[in-house]
Chains A and B, each alone.
Chain A
Amino acid sequence: AQRVTQPEKLLSVFKGAPVELKCNYSYSGSPELFWYVQYSRQRLQLLLRHISRESIKGFTADLNKGETSFHLKKPFAQEEDSAMYYCALGGTGRRALTFGSGTRLQVQP
């Protein structure tokens, strides 16, 4: 069965500190992983996907198939990064994404 686990409900850091939001997945096929972000009162937006290996707003994420992880990282957090972050799993043969439970990132001044 496919599953996405985000172990932290809340992550609170100070501005300028490094951030790592954890995501682990369980999937028997070839996974496609995504990070979505939801800022206060805004719609869910795609932040990044592993296949494009891009960096958006200073965030990066590397798919580690050995550890079945796709952690989201940023070296220096900004207050405007405060939001809800969801890890999502797609994959070969899957018709829809499965979302993790989400981690709320709070960046304090």
Chain B
Amino acid sequence: AQSVTQLGSHVSVSEGALVLLRCNYSSSVPPYLFWYVQYPNQGLQLLLKYTSAATLVKGINGFEAEFKKSETSFHLTKPSAHMSDAAEYFCAVSYGEYNQGGKLIFGQGTELSVKP
């Protein structure tokens, strides 16, 4: 079955430190990969997506993620954390084009805390 695993339900970093949120997927077929962010009491906002072009994907707010097929990973990073980055981050995978009903399968989420 298709699945997404996010290692670490809670990650805490100091302001200015590197952010690394881990995501692994299970698939024998190259998927489409996404990171969404959810701020408190808000909806899901797309951070970035991988759709089989460049393996290093840059997103909004200084985040980027690298698709590594050999490791079936799509980890999210940001060089320097900001207090405003505190939120829940969800990795998601889709195995089809949207016009084939390509639903998203989400990981369980990682809550990022940023300490002053």
User: Are both chains from one complex?
Assistant: no
